[in-house]
Structure 1
Amino acid sequence: MSNLIDANIPVLTEVILPDEKISTIPPVTETAPALTQDLAAVSEPAVESLPQQDWQELEQNVKEAVLKQVLTRVDFVLEHRVRDGLADVLQTAVDKLADEIRAGLSKSLEELITRSVNQEISKLRSGK
């Protein structure tokens, strides 16, 4: 039975050779150092030339962004924990309330039945 399953599995039998166009493209590693050097040359003067005011604005923007992300996460975690805690408290309260209602209903029914039986017994006695 495993031979039937194996026979249905497709097998790659054709070898695909790369096109000549692909082999004529120069490797990426030859141009990568030049790009890295150009990027470093551009970014270093830009960083050094920023005035103190821009640094303070950048610092303020980063602080605000980080604070916003942290507060969002704190809000989510706090809401989740409060919701879980409230769910437990509410479930306990509902269980206690249901038990109290059952006990009260049971007591009321017991008193009602006792009174009804006593009334019927007194009617039967007075009727004789």
Structure 2
Amino acid sequence: MSQNPAFDHSIPVLTEVFSDKADKPAAPARLDAAPLADQANADLETRAIDNWTEPQWNLLERRLSERILQQLQGRVDFVLEQRLRDSLEEILKAAIGGLAEEIRAGLHDTIEKIVVRAVAQEVSHLQTLKK
């Protein structure tokens, strides 16, 4: 487990959670420590079940819940932000494309009207000079 790059060292390992000194936090486990044998895990579990008081269990539950929520919220925030960015990027590209097309069409229309009017005025002016 200690070689896993996703391993969060802020979450206690069993040797930290189920230590003989339940009221004091255990020292952090070394990264290169070998995993405990199944029997040792069973012994730790049995001692915790037999010896821990209700407040100790409540404290463990609260700490684990806080750590899990903190990790989940960080991941949810990251995923949500990434998806929003991706969605907004697509929406903005489409909106800008549509807006640019509307502006282009409006400019074409306006320029055409201006040119037609200017040509009509010039022709009219030339015709009055001819008479």
Q: TM-score, normalised by structure 1?
A: 0.63
The structure with more radius of gyration = 1
Which position in structure 1 is the counterpart of 2:32? none
4+ runs deviating over 6 angstroms: none
C-alpha displacement of 1:45: 8.5
Select 1:61's aligned residue among 60, 63, 69: 63
Q: How do 1:70-81 residues align onto structure 2 when only pairs under 5 Å count?
A: 70-81=72-83
Q: How do 1:95-106 residues align onto structure 2 when only pairs under 5 Å count?
A: 95-106=97-108
Select the structure with the greater relative contact order (CA < 8 A; seq sep ≥ 6). Answer: 2
Alignment of 1:52 onto 2:54: yes
Which position in structure 2 is the counterpart of 1:18? none
C-alpha displacement of 1:49: 2.8
Which position in structure 2 is the counterpart of 1:124? 126
Which position in structure 2 is the counterpart of 1:17? none
What letter matches 1:77 in structure 2? V
Unaligned runs of 5+ in 2: 1-36
Which position in structure 1 is the counterpart of 2:111? 109
**What secondary structure does 1:74 align onto?**
helix
Give the root-mean-square deviation of aligned CA atoms: 2.4
Unaligned runs of 5+ in 1: 1-35
Q: TM-score, normalised by structure 2?
A: 0.62
What letter matches 1:84 in structure 2? D
| Identical positions, percent | 40
Select 1:85's aligned residue among 84, 87, 92: 87
C-alpha displacement of 1:54: 0.8
What letter matches 2:98 in structure 1? K
Report which of the two has the higher share of helix.
Answer: 1
C-alpha displacement of 1:44: 7.1
